[in-house]
Amino acid sequence: MSEKNLGPEGADGRAPRVLLAVCGGIAAYKACEVLRGLQRAGCDVRVTMTEDALRFVGAATFEALSGAPVATSLYGHPGSAIPHIELAEWADVALVVPATANVMAKMACGIADDCLTTTLLACHGCCPVLVAPGMNVHMWQSPATQANAETLRSRGVHLVGPDCGRLACGDVGEGKLAPVDQIVAAARAALGAGDLAGLRLVVTAGPTHEAIDPVRFIANRSTGKMGYALAEAAVARGAEVTLVSGPTALGCPAGARRVDVVSAAQMRDATLAAFEDADAAICCAAVADYTPARPADHKLKKSREHLDAIELVETADILAELCAAKGERVVAGFAAETDDLLAHATEKLRRKGADLIVANDVSRPESTFGADTNRVALVTAAGVRQLETMPLRAVADAVLDAVRDLGAAR
């Protein structure tokens, strides 16, 4: 890869440069929002489009938004005889939004039959390439597209999404373009913006709900605020964040990928799956330790069932499972306690095999559930570091500093 100044605060002080390659899919209009998001993040954006993309959004729109000519043809490009090479060498990162099955196939085969695909081919050795697929579920799942996606991945192309959801054609399934914020965050991470750029982090947050019957559940007082603050701070510092969240009233932090779960069992499965491709995890969720052994499939009636006991079984310890699987990766947990804070936290560090336990005394008003501040101690094998009472965002940054210093940042 050629030497370039990556990141907004690079040696020559210029803005990071993103080449946005827009293909002919219904999600092409979302590329406008991606362009705006990149500009808000301080990037200079140039656009290349396929002929088909022009049927969805006119070049004039991208020209007005980017303030520069849009490259749609190899010939007659204003001010450039060889636009594909100039664009590839200009860019710090190339971003394909939406990547159609056709363009992914061309990229995998090295086909360069228009301005966009020729430019992407020329990006090899010049800049990282990110691909955000957007297509019908059947096209995405077709063996050809899956093989092409694998080929691209094996060559270092970074795939952002696709997501699962309702598609333009009405089908529901995988193939939906990833959220704009997530695409922008991935581009920023590839640009090396932020001290956690490139770090793939899993954060668990919120409570879990353990069903007794279809209308009742066992839960706890967690609001998810601390976990969400961690996710938001990590995104702002360039990490790629998967937020596995129990039921909360909070909106997803911009740029994070949120996986919604309800029960401890669901949180375990989602967290272990996300951790497979991650560099670090922070378990902030207040996971129920017990769940009803046999949740009723109908609403229990007090006159009929005379419920006087609920048999409980232990849930899986997600943090301990992550620690068992972590290898060289960094895993942190929380200890929310009302007494003997540091003794319990130190015992959890050892018993679960974690690299860091963030101990907080939930009996104090400034560090209890739902507060906008927290007062924590960072407990590691090296010892205990007590922090002052601080806003959640500052606590989140201190926890992320500790995770980074434990070796998570690559």
Query: Which residues are designated catalytic?
Result: 169
Cβ atoms 133, 173 nearer than 8 A: no
102: helix, strand or coil: helix
For ligand CTP, the closer CB: 71 or 319:
319
Residue 257 CA to residue 357 CA, distance in Å, equals 24
Residue nearest to ligand CTP (CB): 333
Choice between 28 and 281, CB closer to ligand CTP = 281
Closest CB to ligand CTP among 33 and 289?
289
What stretches of 257-340 show up as alpha helix (H) in DSSP? 264-275, 318-325
Do 55 and 85 form a contact (C-beta atoms < 8 A)?
Answer: no
CB 370 to ligand CTP: min, Å: 17
Rounded to the nearest whole angstrom, what is the least distance from the CB of residue 267 to ligand CTP in the complex?
A: 8
CB of 387 vs ligand CTP, minimal distance in Å: 17
Asked if residue 131 lies in contact with residue 93, where contact means CB atoms within 8 angstroms, the answer is: no
Q: What minimum distance in Å lies between the beta carbon of 398 and ligand CTP? A: 16
**Degrees (nearest 5) of the Cα angle 334, 335, 336?**
115
Instruction: Name the residue nearer to ligand CTP (CB basis): 68 or 387.
Output: 387
Q: Residue 183 is which amino acid? A: I
Distance (Å, whole) CA 57 – CA 153: 28
Closest-CA residue to 40 (of 235, 188, 224): 188
> What's the closest the beta carbon of residue 323 comes to ligand CTP, in angstroms?
10
| Distance between first and last Cα of the chain | 18
Distance of closest approach, residue 150 Cβ to ligand CTP, in angstroms: 32
Footprint of ligand CTP (CB under 6 A): 204, 264, 283, 285, 287, 289, 315, 317-319, 333-336, 348
Q: Nearer Cβ to ligand CTP, position 157 or 285? A: 285
Helix/strand/coil (H/E/C) assignment for every residue in 215-244: CEEECCCCCCHHHHHHHHHHHHCCCEEEEE
**Phi, then psi, of 80 in degrees rounded to 5:** -150, 130
Phi, psi of 24, deg, nearest 5: -85, 80
The answer to whether residues 226 and 286 touch, using CB atoms and an 8 Å cutoff, is no
89 or 260: whose CB is closer to ligand CTP? 260
